[in-house]
Amino acid sequence: MKVLVIGSGGREHAICHFLARSRRLRELFILPGNAGTAALGTNIPGDPCDVGFALSIARREKIDLTVVGPEEPLAAGIVDAFKQAGLPIFGPTAQAARLESDKVFAKQLMRQQAVPTAEARVFDDYELARRYIATRDEALVVKAAGLARGKGAIVCAEPADAILAAEKLLVKRALGEAGARIIVEERLNGREASVLALVHGHSALLLEPAQDYKRLRDNDEGPNTGGMGSFCPTPAVDEDLLRQIETQILVPTLDGLAREGIEYCGVLYIGLMLTAGGPKVLEFNCRFGDPETQAILPRLRCDLLDLLEAATVGGLEEVEFSWDPRYALCVVMASAGYPESYRTGVPIRGLPEDPGRDDLFIFHAGTRLVDGQTVTGGGRVLGVTALGPTLAEARSRTYAAVEQIRFEGAYYRRDLGLVEQLTGPQAA
């Protein structure tokens, strides 16, 4: 099969890495890809959100399956356009992707289907939002309704901060149109977990649960980022809890979509807070999580191409797969200044050629090749993942590999995968 992967991050490199192992893969193309994907296939420069361009590549190269990594092309209708053209593509339609691209839609659907989530109110008028927030005396979260690349949720300790956040989004339009409508919701407490499912209509296959580290600094301090690391599996979600998440969250969400005439295909990512009152949805994403994917896929023993194809055309029940019992820990190496402004074009040294091991993976996120030299090309630069029989062992292997890699200003968290975190006070 000839496969086209859309996107350029660590998630896409991980997807390409495991697709490249498929016995059925003949040729791989990536739009636009990075220095890591260039070693696995042909990078095609271009805008991943340019649906017409993606279509023209798929036609020109006679692509058998297109796999969409990020949310923006999904929200822009890339799946709809490919389907109309009769080309197989992995991912949800723009309507289905509203679970991520329109948080108001997602909230309403959850409310209708009694899916547990934070209590919320929706505003597009600042004065109304301000008056409402002033009546609350608890911690609140203010969220942009639209896509905001991980910057859309502002967690506020005090109502006064929530008023400022509402002003920032609704009046100052700090996130543009994405923040023209906001959600003000109760702040939930507990431990977070990410549960991803491969979905084709009503059939779904739950992947083993992962945990993402969203905050920039050690001890979960500093601003939210796209994700500074992840591990899988997380003991915070055991088999019983996973079944509960399936029956109380996943199934009713898919039913709710079906009721609106929307069939979901692709990955449904459920971001959860494990509260004392049970698991509650923080957000849905309509794609693989980044960097969760870099800790999930190395443990998945199956032909990834079979799996993605089944989610596209049906037959998820028949795909044979199992899980590597080891833990995987991914540490993200970022550019100095991320998630705000950062420099690119910085040479990266000490990258192993190809680790060629089944327990160490260097996934490229923001990298590019300049005259044969790999240089930084984004905020999150690399995702280093190692497997180990225990989380502690995975941790020491991952950090040993991280320490070999050098680029000016490289920043990474040093506290990922500490075993205390599994039993710490955050645990629900």
Contact positions toward ligand GLY, by CB under 6 A?
150, 212, 227, 285, 289-290, 292
**CB nearer to ligand AMP: pick between 5 and 282:** 282
Q: Considering only the stretches 52-60, 180-188, 293-301, 329-337, report the one whose residues sit in contact with ligand AMP under the rule CB under 6 A.
A: 180-188
Whether 175 and 165 have beta carbons less than 8 Å apart is answered as: no
| CA dihedral over 43, 46, 49, 55, signed as positive or negative | negative
**Binders in 49-88 for ligand AMP, by CB under 6 A:** none
**CB nearer to ligand GLY: pick between 208 and 303:** 208
Q: Considering only the stretches 63-71, 147-155, 239-247, 304-312, report the one whose residues sit in contact with ligand AMP under the rule CB under 6 A.
A: 147-155
Q: Considering only the stretches 64-72, 183-191, 341-349, 396-404, report the one whose residues sit in contact with ligand AMP under the rule CB under 6 A.
A: 183-191
**CB nearer to ligand AMP: pick between 33 and 271:** 271
Q: Could you tell which of ligand GLY, ligand AMP, none binds residue 290, using a CB distance below 5 to 8 A set by kind?
A: ligand GLY
Q: Could you tell which of ligand GLY, ligand AMP, none binds residue 289, using a CB distance below 5 to 8 A set by kind?
A: ligand GLY
Whether 311 and 279 have beta carbons less than 8 Å apart is answered as: no
Shortest Cβ distance from residue 148 to ligand GLY (Å)? 11
Contact with ligand AMP (CB under 6 A) among 2, 121, 187, 217: 187
Give residue number: closest CB to ligand AMP. 153
- How far apart are alpha carbons 278 and 387 in whole angstroms? 30
**CB nearer to ligand AMP: pick between 350 and 424:** 424
Instruction: Tally the residues of the chain.
Output: 428
Please give the span between the terminal C-alpha atoms of the chain, in angstroms, as a whole number.
Answer: 45
3-state SS of the chain? Answer: CEEEEEECCHHHHHHHHHHCCCCCCCEEEEEECCCCHHHCCEECCCCCCCHHHHHHHHHHCCCCEEEECCHHHHHCCHHHHHHHCCCCEECCCCCCCHHHHCHHHHHHHHHHCCCCECCEEEECCHHHHHHHHHCCCCCEEEEECCCCCCCCEEEECCHHHHHHHHHHHHHCCCCHHHHCCEEEEECCCCEEEEEEEEEECCEEEECCCEEECCEEEHHHEEEECCCCEEEECCCCCCHHHHHHHHHHHHHHHHHHHHHCCCCCEEEEEEEEEEECCEEEEEEEECCCCCCHHHHHHHHEECCHHHHHHHHHHCCHHHCCCEECCCEEEEEEEECCCCCCCCCCCCECECCCCCCCCCCEEEEECCEEEECCEEEECCCEEEEEEEEECCHHHHHHHHHHHHHHCECCCCECCCCCCCCHHHHCCCCC
Decide: is 153 part of the binding site for ligand AMP (CB under 6 A). yes
Phi, psi of 247 (to 5 degrees): -80, -30
Q: Could you tell which of ligand GLY, ligand AMP, none binds residue 232, using a CB distance below 5 to 8 A set by kind?
A: none
Contact with ligand AMP (CB under 6 A) among 1, 49, 122, 155: 155
Contact track, ligand AMP, 100-139, x by CB under 6 A: ------------------x---------------------
**CB nearer to ligand GLY: pick between 267 and 348:** 267
Contact track, ligand AMP, 214-233, x by CB under 6 A: x---------x---------
Q: Could you tell which of ligand GLY, ligand AMP, none binds residue 187, using a CB distance below 5 to 8 A set by kind?
A: ligand AMP
Q: Which two tokens stand for residue 105?
A: 């839609």
Whether 414 and 218 have beta carbons less than 8 Å apart is answered as: yes
Shortest Cβ distance from residue 147 to ligand AMP (Å)? 10
Decide: is 196 part of the binding site for ligand AMP (CB under 6 A). no
**CB nearer to ligand AMP: pick between 118 and 329:** 118
Q: Considering only the stretches 181-189, 239-247, 317-325, 398-406, report the one whose residues sit in contact with ligand AMP under the rule CB under 6 A.
A: 181-189
**CB nearer to ligand AMP: pick between 145 and 375:** 145
**CB nearer to ligand AMP: pick between 175 and 242:** 175
C-alpha torsion angle, residues 203, 90, 289, 103 (rounded to 10): -80
Contact with ligand AMP (CB under 6 A) among 73, 152, 159, 291: 152
Q: Could you tell which of ligand AMP, ligand GLY, none binds residue 88, using a CB distance below 5 to 8 A set by kind?
A: none
Q: Could you tell which of ligand AMP, ligand GLY, none binds residue 188, using a CB distance below 5 to 8 A set by kind?
A: ligand AMP
Chain residues binding ligand AMP by CB under 6 A are 118, 141, 143, 152-153, 155, 185, 187-188, 192, 214, 224, 271, 273, 282-283
